[in-house]
Structure 1
């Protein structure tokens, strides 16, 4: 079906006339260059569209072409039409746009061919967003190899959350301010960092948002995208993943649990489902550290959620697990924003001693991080520190950090 030019012209004109919404500036800083395509990958509802609006506001609408491929007006667009729309912009507005913004580009089959064609003209700054890590990365790894710089946009960090609440943390902090920050951290742990939730923290809205978010990811990004028929198993896996955050997740164990409940499904199918949720950026699996990449990839993953507010569970260590989830997201965020060559794993010795995060770069293991909500109990402190020291000796790393709720000290441990 050919593209309807009248609809496209109206779409472009409407965007030019529309007033951009009030924007909260994000911490992510991207390269502004014609020498690379900038791709911004992120979970749904984390503000990718608003981040593009932030850039458009900076460059000016007159210089920008914005297409959101989830808008109904663009449902029938093909990859061949994209280049023609750029020409329509020049015809209607008298100039070619300097900045091209393609939102949720993965919805267009063979989108990479159109983007590569525009990139090779060297006339445009090109920005892409997508909610699917693998659909974007597959094309980036093939026809767009060496032509892109990729970033991951996550929910608001706690620092940005405090900025929005107009609570500064620079310089000395009084006891009163420390209590305020801890109270805000409790709220952040409970409600999460999704922009819509941070800007509208009413309990009823938060609960509705989180439920609808899970339904959206499960149905649109997994069930519809991969044409899944076994909805019962998908729901069971979602619940299991949400209850297993900050822990190792064994697909084999999950398979045996289903088998004991007379649920018939193959182990291969469960591995596929797990990959689909990773692709939808609902979960971020971290692998066990190993000098062998093959061995690391084959290890049992520890999983972290895109936002700790989605977690299920009411056990006694819930706050500790949520804090660990927050630390994992902050490390992933810093890797994307600042340190793309960094790798994040966990450590587990043959005797079972663990370290939550092993940070490596090209020079080797750079830092070991342990997360413990309450370290005042002597046995808990011994257990956490022994795991850290064991890993320190094995991995030859002396930069050791324990993150707690409110205990701070510099200690020698022998």
Structure 2
């Protein structure tokens, strides 16, 4: 077997062949195991390699991919002995990729963590490193970080000061809405890449992991669920809709289908804003996709406003995942007024956000006046309406509504 350092150098050397789009996300810090989770093909391996490269000149660093046959056969103790053979002294920082290939990886990681010699980062297939599994498998020894597709800021940079820059940003935004932020898709602008990512999620992260026997039934449900992005649903409404499509599945099966898609980081469910736990459970939820590339691929007839809303949701999720874990997002509805996003930290509501494709005389009352009525009811000062291109300020009494074009909202950066 070649040395662990040789394996590391080979993989670090591959970075020079990758077209890099710098990421704004930082890997977590701390003494516990750092688990890098997220959907397939968002660049988790690239982030591990870049972090390893940045540290290797000053610290003991190893990047080890467990799809290497010789590595996956080692026990935790054998691996530790080999590491100490190459680094006899000092803490060693381990970047362990494709960790699902290491049999009983959770037991082995706990042992490596507990001996105290190693600072550990792990990543791997989303079909194994599911967010729901990590807490039970690593038993309080982990910090996880959800990695999402590229943000508009990462692709476009923080520009837009001149008319030339703003014109360029509009062109990039049009492509971003269509192609989304998966790095390979963005670079190649390839429909086949989108199909490949979705099919891999379907078969490897859902069919294989959850052992669904009726693949055709799940496939019908899968595509219908994707079509609901930006819309409301309940388990029973979904059951009725699927029955109309010829899918006669019971509620438990439908809930399992949704769980498989959510744990693969393909979809996210947004609850209603309410102090009542029961109401949050029984009221309809809204559904969003991890990337707008999927909306462009399958549902061309859908309203563009729903794609904008999906982008705003993912940006809020990015804020929570990368910088502000205490952030919570929900939607508001009291039967008369609706607000797309209630953004809060604990009991404190930071902002109300409404998303619409364009403000006009027809929807002004619903989008702006409904937002202001809700703000007065909840005692919120920061009000934002996101549209494709409109930009203005609306004042009513003591309240001000900032109307932002989507590109400016996506470039505004995380909220401190």
Structure number with the higher strand fraction is: 2
Q: 2:290 aligns with which of 273, 295, 306?
A: 306
* Residue 39, structure 1, aligned to residue 35, structure 2: yes
Counterpart in 2 of 1:3? none
SS of 1:225's partner is helix
Q: Is the 8 A contact 1:106 1:132 kept in 2?
A: no
Cα separation, 1, equivalents of 2:3 and 2:84: 14
Alpha-carbon shift at residue 299 of structure 1 (Å): 3.0
Cα separation, 1, equivalents of 2:42 and 2:77: 28
Cα separation, 1, equivalents of 2:284 and 2:205: 24
Q: 2:49 aligns with which of 49, 53, 62?
A: 53
1:8-87 matched pairs, under 5 angstroms: 9=2, 13-18=6-11, 19-22=13-16, 23-33=20-30, 35-60=31-56, 63-69=60-66, 71=67, 73=69, 77=73, 81-87=75-81
Alpha-carbon shift at residue 262 of structure 1 (Å): 4.1
SS of 1:290's partner is coil
Cα separation, 1, equivalents of 2:242 and 2:82: 55
After the TM superposition, which of the residue ranges 227-236 and 113-122 deviates more from structure 2? 113-122
Q: Is the 8 A contact 2:22 2:154 kept in 1?
A: no
* TM-score normalised over the length of structure 2: 0.86
* Residue 121, structure 1, aligned to residue 121, structure 2: no
Cα separation, 1, equivalents of 2:53 and 2:69: 23
Q: Is the 8 A contact 2:32 2:143 kept in 1?
A: yes
Counterpart in 1 of 2:326? 341
Q: Is the 8 A contact 2:21 2:155 kept in 1?
A: no
Q: Is the 8 A contact 1:346 1:358 kept in 2?
A: yes
Q: Is the 8 A contact 1:65 1:86 kept in 2?
A: no
Alpha-carbon shift at residue 72 of structure 1 (Å): 5.5
After the TM superposition, which of the residue ranges 192-201 and 219-228 deviates more from structure 2? 192-201
Counterpart in 1 of 2:394? 411
Counterpart in 1 of 2:378? 395
* Residue 212, structure 1, aligned to residue 205, structure 2: no
SS of 1:310's partner is helix
Q: Is the 8 A contact 1:192 1:307 kept in 2?
A: yes
Alpha-carbon shift at residue 185 of structure 1 (Å): 0.1
* TM-score normalised over the length of structure 1: 0.86
* Residue 250, structure 1, aligned to residue 244, structure 2: no
Deviations 1:82-126 (A, max 9, x none): 342232233356667711112243454543332222222332221
After the TM superposition, which of the residue ranges 270-279 and 238-247 deviates more from structure 2? 238-247
Q: Is the 8 A contact 1:41 1:130 kept in 2?
A: yes
1:15-414 matched pairs, under 5 angstroms: 15-18=8-11, 19-22=13-16, 23-33=20-30, 35-60=31-56, 63-69=60-66, 71=67, 73=69, 77=73, 81-91=75-85, 98-108=92-102, 110-132=104-126, 135-142=129-136, 144-163=138-157, 168-169=158-159, 173-201=161-189, 206-311=190-295, 312-315=298-301, 317=303, 319-351=304-336, 353-375=337-359, 377-413=360-396
Any stretches of 5+ residues in structure 2 without a counterpart?
A: 398-416
After the TM superposition, which of the residue ranges 359-368 and 221-230 deviates more from structure 2? 359-368
Cα separation, 2, equivalents of 1:216 and 1:75: 25
Give the RMSD, CA atoms, in angstroms: 2.5
SS of 1:347's partner is strand
